[in-house]
Every structure is written in C-alpha cells, then in structure tokens.
Amino acid sequence: MNRLVQIRNQEFLCRERAALDSKRRVFWLAQAQEWEQRALDEIAHHFRECNLAQAELNAA
C-alpha cells in the first residue's frame, strides 16, 4: 500500500500545480487524472491479490 500513497501524492501535487499554474491548468488536471487512474488500478490489483490469496487458503 506504500505505492498507493506515493501515487496519491503525485495526484495531489498535480492538482496543486493546476491551482497555481493557470496557463497549464488543463495539462496538470489531465496529469492528475492519470495518477488517479493509476491509484484505482493499484487498488484493484491489491484486491485481486488478496482474493487470490484467500482463495488459495480456502482451497487448502
């Protein structure tokens, strides 16, 4: 989950930059959305791994 914290931090930094850089606001918001999607992918991956581990325990 450390990776998720790092990803969310990058998303936050992009959103903060968007607030401060009006000329490139659209760019920074797009970057933030990419980081947000990475975070969602990381969460999904974590749950798949947990479900797989649980299934293996139940099968044993």
Q: How confident is the model at residue 52 (pLDDT cuts 50, 70, 90)?
A: confident
Contact indicator for 14, 29 with CB cutoff of 8 Å: yes
| Residue type for position 28 | W
- Give the other-Cβ count within 10 Å of 6's Cβ: 14
Whether pLDDT at 57 is above 80? no
**Gap between the terminal Cα atoms of the chain:** 27
Per residue in 7-47, pLDDT (tens digit) is 999 999 999 999 999 999 999 999 999 999 999 999 999 99
